[in-house]
């Protein structure tokens, strides 16, 4: 029979496990958003390089001023998008770091409660073993006394 002490630790362990799962879920979501932001940031970088090279090609040949102005304007827009992308990436990095910290703390709590529950279970098993040993000793003593009375 389990005592109430081990049941309490089991409940606390279960609660800590649920919180750790929730923290893992939030961390995985934050990490996913960060990875998507990194991919978008890299794509914008590639586009900046590509269109800067195209502008250099256009400027190296005969071109209309409108064509070059359009490329420059597009590059300015890409640079603005790059700045927004970098800010977004920094925010997602911050979210990911915060979620990682919460996850680490939740895992520590879960581990602590699992250890405490195991310790309580070990104590309970030791108590049961001592009780059974004592009962066996009492039973043996009673049988010994009965035998010695009947032999007398």
Q: Are 30 and 95 in contact (CB under 8 A)?
A: yes
Q: Are 45 and 149 in contact (CB under 8 A)?
A: no
Is the pLDDT at 1 greater than 50? The verdict is no
86-91: average pLDDT: 96
Q: What six digits make up the tokens of 94?
A: 């911050």
Is the pLDDT at 3 greater than 80? The verdict is no
Phi first, then psi: what are they for 147, rounded to 5°? -65, -45
Q: What six digits make up the tokens of 22?
A: 């929730």
Q: Beta-carbon neighbour count of residue 101 at 10 Å?
A: 12
Distance CA 144, CA 52 (A): 101
Q: Is 3 helix (H, G, I), strand (E, B) or coil?
A: coil
pTM above 0.85, yes or no: no
Per-range mean pLDDT, top range of 8-17, 34-43, 68-77: 34-43
Distance CA 25, CA 5 (A): 31
Question: What rounded mean pLDDT belongs to the chain?
Answer: 91
Which of 149 and 79 is assigned the larger pLDDT? 79
Crossing angle for the helix pair 65-151 and 4-60, to the nearest 10 degrees: 160
pLDDT digits (tens, 9 = 90+) for 55-85: 888 888 877 788 888 888 989 999 999 999 9
Q: Are 9 and 117 in contact (CB under 8 A)?
A: yes
Is the pLDDT at 124 greater than 60? The verdict is yes
Is the pLDDT at 113 greater than 80? The verdict is yes
Distance CA 72, CA 47 (A): 13
Phi first, then psi: what are they for 64, rounded to 5°? -85, 150
Q: What six digits make up the tokens of 50?
A: 């590509």
């Amino acid at each position: 029979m389990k005592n109430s002490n081990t049941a309490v630790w089991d409940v606390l362990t279960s609660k800590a496990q649920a919180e750790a799962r929730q923290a893992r879920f939030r961390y995985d979501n934050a990490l996913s958003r960060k990875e998507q932001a990194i991919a978008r940031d890299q794509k914008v970088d590639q586009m900046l390089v590509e269109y800067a090279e195209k502008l250099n090609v256009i400027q190296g040949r005969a071109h209309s001023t409108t064509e070059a102005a359009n490329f420059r304007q597009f590059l300015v827009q890409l640079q603005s998008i790059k700045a927004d992308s970098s800010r977004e990436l920094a925010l997602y990095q911050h979210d990911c770091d915060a979620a990682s910290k919460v996850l680490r703390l939740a895992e520590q709590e879960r581990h602590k409660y699992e250890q405490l529950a195991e310790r309580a279970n070990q104590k309970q098993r030791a108590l049961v073993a001592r009780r059974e040993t004592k009962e066996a000793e009492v039973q043996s003593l009673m049988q010994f006394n009965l035998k010695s009375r009947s032999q007398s």
